[in-house]
Structure 1
Amino acid sequence: MAENTQADVKKLSFERAIEELESIVKRLEDGKVPLEESVAIYERGEALKRRCEELLRQAEARVDKITTDANGQATGTEPLDVQ
């Protein structure tokens, strides 16, 4: 199942992944999830977090590409702070 979960996560948009991650965090914070399920959704949460980070890195790379001129020179913009 973990393999299918990973494949599923890799297809999610940033918005859908962050929405699901927020839902998982809320469920875990509520503390009403059985231990076995908590571990499973925590693992999914980790996969979602990695997906969001990957998508943010891709977006940052695209912005960096847009902000350089035809000669490869920066057009005066500062790097994104993606924390």
Structure 2
Amino acid sequence: MTPCEAKLAKEPVLPKDITGLSFEDALKELEGIVQQLERGQVKLDEAITAYERGALLKKHCEQKLAEAKMKVEKIVFSADGSVGSQPADLN
């Protein structure tokens, strides 16, 4: 793998202004970007920048959802070695 390919294969690092957003705020901003891009009334450079930010916001939302899911479910290993999940005991 070339250094360039390795760089592309890495997960994007989310900027602090995005990691500080709640799921709802990130989703709202992402929806705004999608609407802006769908209208097609932005310059190419602005569209690329908006798309890149949208991709980062999407990643952040996915991470927030995964964290929430892990809080709601817990992984269970049965006696036969199979893996399942059950609701987490949050009390």
Percent identity at matched positions? 44
Report what 1:37 is aligned to.
46
Q: Is 1:15 paired with 2:24?
A: yes
TM-score of the pair, normalised by structure 2: 0.66
Give the RMSD, CA atoms, in angstroms.
Answer: 2.4
Which structure 2 residue ranges, 5 or more long, are not aligned? 1-12, 77-84
Higher RCO structure (Cα 8 Å, ≥6 apart)? 1
Report what 1:24 is aligned to.
33
TM-score of the pair, normalised by structure 1: 0.72
Amino acid at match of 1:55: K
Runs of 4+ more than 4 Å apart: none
Which structure 1 residue ranges, 5 or more long, are not aligned? 69-73, 78-83
SS of the residue corresponding to residue 32 of structure 1 reads coil
Return the structure number with greater helix share: 1
